[in-house]
Amino acid sequence: MMTKPKKILIVDDDTNICELLRLYVEKEGYDTVIAHTGTQAIRKFEQENPDMILLDIMLPELDGWQVCREIRKTSKVPIIMLTAKGEVFDKVLGLELGADDYVVKPFEAKEILARVRAVLRRSAKPDEPDIKLVTWDKLSVNLTNYELKVNGVTIDTPPKELELLYHLSSNPNRVFTRDQLLDEVWGFDYYGDSRTVDVHVKRLREKIDGVSPQWELKTVWGVGYKFEVKEQ
């Protein structure tokens, strides 16, 4: 499935600058919408729902500050302010009004595209976090919120015990040596002998042994441990 290209609203009363910016950003694969006045910018913003606005400060009808202020009443869309060299540009005012960045004219294509990419990246909605959850019959091991449930009841479990159980239960029937578990669960947090694994397994068994006939935290003598799941 193809991703819909980002849409950028370019606002400047200089048609040459608008055309130049349009060429820059469309070459990068973005869609563009053009406006030449402040009121037109607000109208196009409402109609087109752009992903970013390149907004000149000195505009007819409404200046860039007024446009920024108006848009910020309803939207957090990224805004990069454009200002001519020599114009008084109050960065504090820009930040207070909600501008994300600014570029001084004349600008180079590389600079403005780098700023566009950076601001879009910062403003992108983060992906939904992966939920680290393993469930078996009467057992739920949630590493996202560090919660162990047995028979639907939350059991107070120290973090390393939970991490060990998650690691084993998310790899059913795989045998791990004690050294593998130290390396993969404890990592650089622990330097010591393998008996610490035995201690943690013993404590886990006190919580989960005999809960279900479908699975078992099992010792593989002479090797290590596994989370054994019975064939149904």
Segment-wise mean pLDDT, segments of 10 residues, the chain, 232 residues:
78 94 91 96 95 93 92 90 70 69 83 86 61 91 92 90 94 92 72 77 94 94 93 64
Are 7 and 31 spatial neighbours (Cβ–Cβ below 8 Å)? yes
Domains of the chain are 7-123 (3.40.50.2300), 133-229 (1.10.10.10)
Q: Given this model, what pLDDT does residue 67 score?
A: 94
Quote the pLDDT of residue 35: 97
Note the pLDDT of residue 148.
95
DSSP 36: -
Structure tokens at 86: 């020599």
Amino acid present at 218: K
* Residue 106 dihedral angles phi and psi, to the nearest 5°: -75, 145
pLDDT recorded at residue 79: 92
Predicted pLDDT at 172: 94
- Tokens representing 117? 């990419």
Rounded Cα gap, residues 120 and 226, in angstroms: 45
Instruction: Find, among 8, 7, 3, the residue nearest to 18 by Cα.
Output: 8
Dihedral over Cα of 114, 119, 121, 122: its sign: positive
Q: What is the 3-state secondary structure (H, E, C) of 172-208?
A: CCCCEEHHHHHHHHHHHHCCCCCHHHHHHHHHHHHHH
Q: Provide the token pair at 149.
A: 């449930």
